Amino acid sequence: MFDTLHDRLNDVFRSLRGKGRLTDADIDATAREIRIALLEADVNLAVVKDFVAALKERARGAEVHQALNPAQQIIKIVNEELVAVLGGQTRQLRFAKRPPTILMLAGLQGAGKTTLAGKLGLWLKEQGHSPLLVASDLQRPNAVTQLQVVGERAGVHVFAPEPGNGVGDPVDVARRGVAEARQKLYDVVVIDTAGRLGVDAELMDQAVRIKEATSPDEVLFVVDAMIGQDAVNTAQAFADGVGFDAVVLSKLDGDARGGAALSIARVTGRPIMFASNGEGLKDFDLFHPDRMASRILGMGDMLTLIEQAEKTFDAEQSAKAAEKLLRGQGEFGLGDFLQQMQAVRRMGPLSKVFGMLPGMSGIDQVKNIDEKEIDRIEAIIYSMTPAERDNPKILDGSRRRRIAAGSGTVVADVNNLVNRFFEARKMMQSLAGGMPGMPGIPGMGKRTPPQQRKGKKGKGSRVSGNPAKRAGAVPSAPVAQAAPQPQSQAELQEAMQNFQLPADVQKLFDKTKRQGL
């Protein structure tokens, strides 16, 4: 979503590189380019004005640090201002002192409230809670059925006493849903309410009555991050008419310019609590302003990447694979490689995963990763027998033809995969062997000094690796001694006359002289 803004800001920062200091003209020009970039990203005009004013003030008042160039200073200031615009700190969900905690979802029709209710229910379940989804959207066709399907996929119970499609009282359903939760000891209630195509009196009245009947602990306004400035206007109307405590951004993975995400928190004064960035039920998490600012500036999001990896990877399985890799002797096979690759894919699309690495989000190869190529690799490995996966060296020509036929590929594809696997395994083993002190990886602990190793000779008694030298056929080269320094002018002139360049250097010097250079 923020690719265009990221590219424009990178161009601004690139123009500052190489400058020793920032002049007022440089600051004005940079602020102007950033202002244009934010406006093109559909950020609210008032937010842009405040942002640029703060940037100018801080850039002119900042002390020039010797270790930072102007581009780094501007990046630091822009990053801190982006974090402030996005809400400053991560807003955590407030739970009631006495369960159940009641969460009410509000927003326009099409913002993704029903799907988001399922995502929120799954997220709460993973946090150790027992949520109940309440189907109070009785207006939109099949909204109740959709919530039931989403709840079943998430493994979360749904309270739906009315069929919907215009039948039933949504306020009564919400009230009964809270009573159901208290009776059956659900500790969180998520109320899905109806929306409209636009803000109108009927929508506001129904939302106000549900709020009064259930007294929710948190009212979450769900907004489509792709609708631009209208999202800000709608949020402001809801804040004035109904009131809400926090914002949930849906469809953050879209290709829109993303100005709503940069505007809504500052305009409404309400923080962004959650963000949905994909179609899967697990593509949902707390919104971290500092991490989002880091993504916009192309600095990656390592914390989110680590958190997703911890949820996805089997620690014991990964440790065994790492141990096989480090032991060498061909123990790490294509089956282990397939397990690790599938674990990475469970984290999400590869372009999204690699885009969280610092400096990778702007690379075209990362953006254009072909997931079908990964499917072909899986098909090739699945077409192998267990013995062939464990030891790819036994893959002769006939085996490779059989694997290609079974996976719907050609022999060249199989050869390419096997060759790349051998090269990657060799490289990883060499890297692991040359990285002492790496914690958490077997065989890569802190290295012991040579003098303290048992059975090892010290530095002064090393044996040459050259067999001829060890046999005494080639004498060791004498240690070079420093030439005596001339003590007088006459000795200095004599030393200059007797000075000779090494043969190779003299030959190059003579050739250059002949060519007239």
* Three-class secondary structure of residue 128 per DSSP: coil
Q: What is the pLDDT of residue 500?
A: 53
Element (H, E) at 276: strand 272-276
pLDDT of 271 above 80: yes
Contact of 259 with 43, CB cutoff 8 Å: yes
Q: Please state which of the ranges 56-65, 150-159, 206-215, 304-313 shows the lowest mean pLDDT.
A: 304-313
223 φ, ψ to 5°?
-130, 140
φ, ψ for residue 128 (rounded to 5)?
A: 95, 10
Minimum mean pLDDT range among 39-48, 61-70, 305-314, 508-517: 508-517
Average pLDDT over the chain, rounded to whole?
75
Backbone angles phi, psi at 133, to 5 degrees: -90, 130
* Alpha carbon distances (Å) from 273 to 91, 105, 243, 299: 5, 13, 15, 22
Mean pLDDT is lowest, of 142-156, 214-228, 376-390, 469-483, for 469-483
Residue pointed to by tokens 């059956």: 184
Rounded (10°) angle between helices 289-296 and 3-16: 70
In one-letter notation, the amino acid at residue 169 is: D
Place of tokens 């001694």: 481
Residue 479: pLDDT over 50? no
Choose which CATH entry (3.40.630.30, 3.40.50.12780, 3.40.50.300, 3.30.565.10) describes domain 101-294. Answer: 3.40.50.300
> Quick check: 119 pLDDT over 70?
yes
Architecture of domain 3-85: Up-down Bundle (1.20)
Q: Where are the domains of the chain?
A: 3-85, 101-294, 307-432
pLDDT for the residue numbered 120: 92
pTM flag (> 0.85): no
Single-letter code of the amino acid located at 412? A
Q: 114: burial class by Cβ within 10 Å (0-12, 13-18, 19+)? A: buried
Would you give the DSSP letter of residue 394? G
Evaluate if residue 439 carries a pLDDT over 50: no
What average pLDDT score do residues 340-356 get? 70
Which residues, including other chains, have CB under 8 Å from residue 277's CB and lie 6 or more apart?
Answer: 252, 253, 283, 284, 352
117-131, 149-163, 336-350, 394-408: which has the minimum mean pLDDT?
336-350
- Identify which of 431, 454, 456, 452 has the alpha carbon closest to the alpha carbon of residue 441: 431
Quick check: 198 pLDDT over 50?
yes
pLDDT of residue 314: 63
How far is it, in rounded angstroms, from Cα 174 to Cα 209?
A: 10
Query: What percentage of the chain reaches a pLDDT higher than 70?
Result: 66
Q: How far apart are CA 25 and CA 223, in angstroms?
A: 39
Model confidence at 503: pLDDT above 70: no
pLDDT tier, 399 (very low <50, low <70, confident <90, very high otherwise)? very high
Question: Is residue 433 classed as helix, strand or coil in its secondary structure?
Answer: helix
Mean pLDDT (whole number) for 303-322:
64
Residue 221, classed as helix, strand or coil, is strand
Q: In CATH, what class is 307-432?
A: mainly alpha
d(CA 347, CA 344): 5
Q: Do domains 101-294 and 307-432 have the same CATH topology?
A: no
Indicate if the alpha-carbon torsion angle 417, 419, 425, 430 is positive or negative: negative
Q: CA dihedral in degrees (334, 340, 346, 350; nearest 10)?
A: -80
How many Cα neighbours within 13 Å face the side chain of 220? 29
Q: Are strands 284-286 and 101-106 parallel, antiparallel or unpaired?
A: unpaired
> In terms of residues, how long is the chain?
517
Say yes or no to pLDDT of 129 above 90: yes
Cβ atoms of residues 161 and 194 within 8 Å: no
Q: Which long-range contacts (CB under 8 A, 24 or more apart) does 28-31 make?
A: 28/56, 30/59, 30/74, 31/55, 31/56, 31/59
φ and ψ at 217, to 5 degrees? -75, -30
- Is 228 a residue whose pLDDT tops 70? no
472 contact partners, CB below 8 Å, separation of at least 6: none
Question: What residues contact residue 425 under an 8 Å CB cut-off, 6+ apart?
Answer: 325, 332
Is the confidence at residue 483, as pLDDT, over 60?
no
Identity (one letter) of the amino acid at 257? R
Q: Which two structure tokens, joined as six digits, stand for 153?
A: 């996929």
Q: Tens digit of pLDDT for each residue in 39-62?
A: 887 788 888 888 888 888 888 775
User: Does residue 487 register a pLDDT over 70?
Assistant: no
Shortest CA distance to 437 belongs to which of 429, 448, 425, 445?
445
Q: Distance (Å, rounded) from C-alpha 34 to C-alpha 192?
A: 39
pLDDT greater than 50 at residue 139:
yes
